Amino acid sequence: MRIALRTAALAYLGALVLVPLGMILYRTFENGFVAFYEQVTTPAALAAVSLSLTIVAIVVPLNVIFGVVTALALARGNFPGRGILQAVVDLPFAVSPVIVGVALILFWGNDGWLGGALPVIFSLPGMVLATIFVTLPFVVREVEPVLAEVGTDAEEAAATLGASKWQTFWRITLPAIKVGLAYGVVLTVARSLGEFGALTVVAGGVAGESQTLTLLVHARYIDDHNVFGAYAASTLLMGLALLTLVLMTTLQRKRA
């Protein structure tokens, strides 16, 4: 009976995840490594990598700063509306990426609430805003429970010993949330690299300019009919996803 269950589970996982992934890897490398390498070093591909990483480089620090501030306010505060704030932090999980794109256009776009004060469509700020939207919950949700558990005793002790609020935060609070914060950052990076739906709506997808890796994959398959190129770019993204998984697992052990 146990064997039957195990086989069923593994068969499901195989058919759904493992075999398809294996197929892509096979197809990517069946013509040798050089073919793969050429596909991921075309000017368009390099520009896409650069753009994806640029977005990550902007999104992560912003999420760390604002995420930790928000987590502090939620974990340690007792103010009216705390429940609402908490719910808003979780909202991005329930919103379809396409709706995120629509929302950004309607708020930041030329006909939107801010009357186009900030260029959003077809530009880096727009892609950054979309990515921040979808990654906003990660740092907050990872840091908040740690703050709540660690409590304020050590921080009060530091205050009695003469440490200013900033010194206390830097020397006492931050080290305590290190691992949770790192885990939140890893999730943020993975999600940023994988964002597609919102970017489709908000970015122009012009090769070499406003195309991230994910948009590149799509464009190659649909527009260029460059199936092999699409596979190659996908494999690159898969490699990054795998790295993320490894980091997630390592940090999870540290947390326990």
Distance in angstroms (rounded) separating the CA atoms of residues 163 and 12: 56
| One-letter identity of residue 169 | F
Stretch of residues binding other proteins (CB under 8 A), selected from 30-38, 40-48, 69-77, 203-211 = 69-77
Between residues 112 and 208, which has the closer beta carbon with respect to other proteins?
Answer: 112
Shortest distance in whole angstroms from residue 217 CB to other proteins? 5
H-state helical runs in the chain? 2-13, 19-29, 33-40, 43-76, 82-94, 97-108, 124-150, 153-160, 165-168, 174-194, 197-202, 213-222, 227-255
Compute the Cα dihedral for 38, 43, 47, 48 and give only its sign. Answer: negative
Using the rule CB under 8 A, which residue among 40, 47, 55, 147 binds other proteins? 147
208: left (phi over 0), alpha (psi -120 to 50) or beta: left
Q: Is 156 in the site for other proteins (CB under 8 A)?
A: yes
Q: Per CB under 8 A, which of residues 33..62 are in contact with other proteins?
A: none
Using the rule CB under 8 A, which residue among 37, 116, 164, 223 binds other proteins? 164
Distance in angstroms (rounded) separating the CA atoms of residues 195 and 92: 13
Q: Is 153 in the site for other proteins (CB under 8 A)?
A: yes
Long-range residue pairs from 102-109, CB within 8 A, at least 24 positions apart, any chain = 102/201, 103/133, 104/129, 104/130, 104/133, 104/198, 104/201, 104/202, 105/201, 105/202
Between residues 47 and 120, which has the closer beta carbon with respect to other proteins?
Answer: 120
Using the rule CB under 8 A, which residue among 12, 37, 46, 50 binds other proteins? 12
Stretch of residues binding other proteins (CB under 8 A), selected from 33-41, 42-50, 53-61, 67-75 = 67-75
Q: Per CB under 8 A, which of residues 97..116 are in contact with other proteins?
A: 97-108, 111-113
Stretch of residues binding other proteins (CB under 8 A), selected from 4-12, 41-49, 53-61, 203-211 = 4-12
In the block, residue with structure tokens 């396409």: 98
Between residues 51 and 75, which has the closer beta carbon with respect to other proteins?
Answer: 75
Q: Per CB under 8 A, which of residues 182..221 are in contact with other proteins?
A: 187, 190, 193-197, 200-201, 213-214, 217-218, 221
Using the rule CB under 8 A, which residue among 41, 117, 152, 170 binds other proteins? 152
Using the rule CB under 8 A, which residue among 38, 53, 58, 92 binds other proteins? 92
Instruction: Please count the other Cβ atoms lying within 10 Å of the Cβ belonging to residue 167.
Output: 13
